[in-house]
Every structure is written in structure tokens, then in C-alpha cells.
Amino acid sequence: MPFTRRLASLVAVLLASALSLLVGCASPSSSMSDSLQTYPPIVFVHGNGDSAALWLTTLWRFESNGWPRERLHVIELPYPQARDNDAKPQPGRSSTADYMAYLKAEVERVRRATGASQVVLLGNSRGGYAVRNYIQNGGGAASVSHVVLGGTPNHGVWAIKGYNEGSEFSGTGPFLTGLNAPKNANGDEVTGPVRWMTVRSDNNDKYAQPDGLWIGAKGTPTNVGHDGPELKGARNVVIAGLDHRETSFSPAAFAATYQFLTGRAPTVDIVSEARVELSGVVTGLGLNPSDPASGDYVNNLPLAGAELSIYETDATTGQRLGAPVYTRKTGADGRWGPFKARAGMAHEFELKAAGYAITHVYRSPFPRSSGIVTLRPERITAAAEKEAAALAIFTRPRGYFDARRDTLRFDGRTPPPGVPPVGAGVSNSRLRLDSAADRAITAEFNGEPLAGRVWPAAAGHVTVLELTY
């Protein structure tokens, strides 16, 4: 996309900064440069409450640098949210053991399918816990050559003795103290012979903060520093300004990762394909059966019976350019596609499903094909939203909004509603409108524009403007 090229010079500066701040291992990490032609399989491991779809642009960047699409494997944990207490079963949540077992099975499946003796693992946030647990405690050390962890809170989101130590995110709890126990006389926290790299922000990761603001305890020390994601014995990369998700999904993080794996600098531009084919899964939201009043929880389970219609739209107004160019009612597997998109076209994905709002998702043009375009319908739940004439959501799945760092606007509002003046802590903005009159509603984030239409909430409609970058 045109605006990605404008990021190239910025990425070069960020990467130079990152490489200058490398903290080396006891011995230098070897690369795959001698065997790059074999393109070892890479397994991508998502974070807490997330899905495979967040790796979309990272896969495109690997493909744009020659990595075969069939060597890139993205897992999707059915219940991606961590338990409040790792040792206690919780409806719709997964334990550290659950995630490790799921990852182990997927790695073995990829090894069988590709014939490779080893894979590369890339983990974001909580996904890094599953990676470390598998290698240390699940027999994965022989099956993995390289690991890159982006924004994984390796020393906890908090490290307060006696406070919620049953959570896997507690730096003083049994899970992380076990993972971080010294592995050798040097006190390394990583398991060999796997070669490790971490990527972290200098100070803008919401889950690596000395103050408890983002865990609902403003003014309380977390006993975790900005360097919390680093691991002794790993190559630790620091990239200024990145938010929590960008430690895996940004161009700068990709560049550092590719350099680590291959010994070569990549292009961060996404190379467009002449033919774009899209597919994915429609997923839903679950209700806690033991406590329905607690609200929705996120899952990655397929949503059967969802009706999907895809429209080509005017990129500046969101107006439909005719009848649907694709329709599908999902079966038990929730899958849709393949849909052959015209190059350069923006799209509206209209979802209808029982128990959900009619959700209109507007996306900018797709430069490349993808099989992980996840779609999820919304619900109108809060009283204030039910009373609004129209509801619009502006969302950035692969990063957060930072009013000081970013150029962003939503329906003319700068910063958008709900975006704090300081810090990268939220990834969506919800706008309640007092009129449902049909009109364009636009948003922009650092050069990526989006345009949709206003739909009436009283008739059960919601507008979603979803960023790609």
C-alpha cells in the first residue's frame, strides 16, 4: 500500500536504534544464513485474547522477502484468554498447560507436514509463555532452532509478593519463577540449545510499566520495569516508541526478526500481488454459563450459520459500488472463502448472525492474499450504546493508539473518544452518534485511511472501521 513506503525511512532509523541496543548472549546467536534456501517452517503464536489474524502483515512481509507461504503456519488457540488463576478451571479460559499442549501438537503437525526436523517459533505477548513452557517443560528443545518473543512479559505484568500470584502474569508466582529459574552457571533464563531473541519497547509497552495504571492500580508500584520482557541469555532488542503489540507486528520488529533469523536486512515493504484471494473464519463471543451477567469472553471457536456478504466500496465514502461480490452462510467450521478480490478495492464485510448486531466491517484494500482474515460480529450491550442512534468502532488489532506519537482521527475527532492523552493503552475507539442519517464516517491512522457508512443502531446495526496496519 502506498503509505507503507513512507514508513521505510522511519523503520530504518528505528532498526538502527534497535541494533545499537542489542544485549548479546553469552555467545553470539548464529543465524540461518547458510541454510536460508531451505526456508525452515515458522510457527506463529498469538497472545492473550488474540487470534491468528494478528500475524497477517507479518506473514505478508515474510512472503515479500521470498519465504514460501506454505512454510508459514499460524496457530489459533480456541480459548485464547488466560485464567484468572492458572490452577483453577474457568469457563471459556485456558491454562498455561492448555496452551503448551496445543502448541506442542501444532509443532508436531507442522514437522510431519513439512518433513522438517526443527521449526522457528515467533510468539507475541502471552504466546511467548507457551513457547517458553513448551521448550523448557514440554520436550520442545530439540524441535525448535530459533525463538523470537515480542512483548512477552517474561518477568510478569506485576511482581508483588502475595498479590494474585496464581495468575500466570505474576512475576512472583509459580509459573514465571519456574520459567525464569537459572538454567546454567551463567544464570541464563533461556533453555538451550535454542537461540533466543526478545523484542521490547523502550518505555511504551503497557504491560512493562513500573506503575500499575494499565492493570487498574494507578499509583501502585508493579515492581516490573520497562525491561521486563528481556531474558538473560537471549539477544534482547529495544526499539524506541513501540507499543505492546507492535513489538511483534510492526515493520521494525519484523526487520529485527528477519535479521536475527537470516543475518540479512529485509525489505519491510509489502509487495502487492496481481491476484488476491481471501478466506478465513467467522468467530463469535461466548457467555460465561456460570455467570451470564459477567458479559462476553473472546474465543476463536467457529460461528456456524453466520451470513456474510462482501461489497466493493468507494475508498473515500464507504458507499457500496453495487451488489455483493461474494456471499456465504457459514457451516459448522465457520469458514468462508475463497473470495477473489479485485486489486486496489476497499471492501465492506457485512455479517449477520443470531444474537449479534448486523456488523458492517470496512477494510482498506488487501495487497496480498490471506487465509487468516478473521471476522467477528459485534454485540450492542452497554445501556449507553443501546440508547445511541448509531454506533461506530475504530479498531487497530495489530497495535495501540498513542495520541502523542500517532496521527489519528475518527469522524473528525482528534484524538478519538476513549484514547488517553498519554500512553499507548487502547486499541479501539467507540463513538456513539445522536443521528443515524446515512453518511460517510471516516478514520485515519498514520496514513492509512478508512471510510464506512453510518447505520442505525435501533435496527441492530454497528459500523466497524478496521485498520490493517
203 in a domain, yes or no?
Answer: yes
Q: What is the number of domains present in the chain? A: 2
Mean pLDDT in the chain? Answer: 91
Judgement on whether residues 223 and 306 belong to the same structural domain of the protein: no
pLDDT at 346: 98
Which of the residue ranges 233-237, 319-323, 385-389 would you say has the lowest mean pLDDT? 385-389
Q: Give mean pLDDT, residues 391-406.
A: 97
69 in a domain, yes or no?
Answer: yes
Judgement on whether residues 101 and 217 belong to the same structural domain of the protein: yes
Judgement on whether residues 305 and 388 belong to the same structural domain of the protein: yes
pLDDT at 287: 64
In tens, the pLDDT along 430-447 reads 999 999 999 999 999 999
The CATH code of the domain that includes 404 is 2.60.40.2190
Q: Give mean pLDDT, residues 308-318.
A: 98
pLDDT at 10: 42
Residue 157 to residue 149: CA distance in whole angstroms: 15
Judgement on whether residues 159 and 199 belong to the same structural domain of the protein: yes
Banded pLDDT at 296 (limits 50, 70, 90): low
Measured N-to-C along each axis, helices 96-114 and 126-137 cross at an angle, to the nearest 10 degrees, of 70
Query: Quick one: which of 345, 338, 342 has its CA closest to 320?
Result: 345
Which of 202, 227, 262 is the last residue before a domain boundary?
A: 262
Exposed/middle/buried for 369, CB within 10 Å: 0-12, 13-18, 19+?
buried
Judgement on whether residues 251 and 311 belong to the same structural domain of the protein: no
Which of 213, 236, 262 is the last residue before a domain boundary?
A: 262
Q: Give mean pLDDT, residues 207-212.
A: 97
In tens, the pLDDT along 86-142 reads 999 999 999 999 999 999 999 999 999 999 999 999 999 999 999 999 999 999 999
Judgement on whether residues 140 and 56 belong to the same structural domain of the protein: yes
pLDDT at 14: 43
The pLDDT of residue 12 is above 70:
no
The answer to whether 189 and 182 have CB atoms below 8 angstroms apart is yes
Residue 419 to residue 402: CA distance in whole angstroms: 7
Burial 130-164, CB ≥16 within 10 A → b, else e? bbbbbbbebebeebbbbbbbbbbbbbbbbbbeebe
Percentage of the chain surpassing pLDDT 70? 90
Longest CA span, the chain? 68
268 in a domain, yes or no?
Answer: no
Residue 110 to residue 102: CA distance in whole angstroms: 12
143 in a domain, yes or no?
Answer: yes
Judgement on whether residues 116 and 189 belong to the same structural domain of the protein: yes
Domain that holds residue 381: 279-466
Which of 262, 292, 316 is the last residue before a domain boundary?
A: 262
Judgement on whether residues 62 and 140 belong to the same structural domain of the protein: yes
361 in a domain, yes or no?
Answer: yes
219 in a domain, yes or no?
Answer: yes
273 in a domain, yes or no?
Answer: no
Banded pLDDT at 258 (limits 50, 70, 90): very high
Cα–chain-centroid distance for residue 207?
Answer: 15
362 in a domain, yes or no?
Answer: yes
Judgement on whether residues 250 and 290 belong to the same structural domain of the protein: no
In tens, the pLDDT along 13-51 reads 344 444 433 333 333 344 454 444 579 999 999 999 999
Judgement on whether residues 257 and 283 belong to the same structural domain of the protein: no
The pLDDT of residue 274 is above 90:
yes
Residue 48 to residue 82: CA distance in whole angstroms: 6
Judgement on whether residues 171 and 296 belong to the same structural domain of the protein: no
Judgement on whether residues 129 and 71 belong to the same structural domain of the protein: yes
The CATH code of the domain that includes 146 is 3.40.50.1820
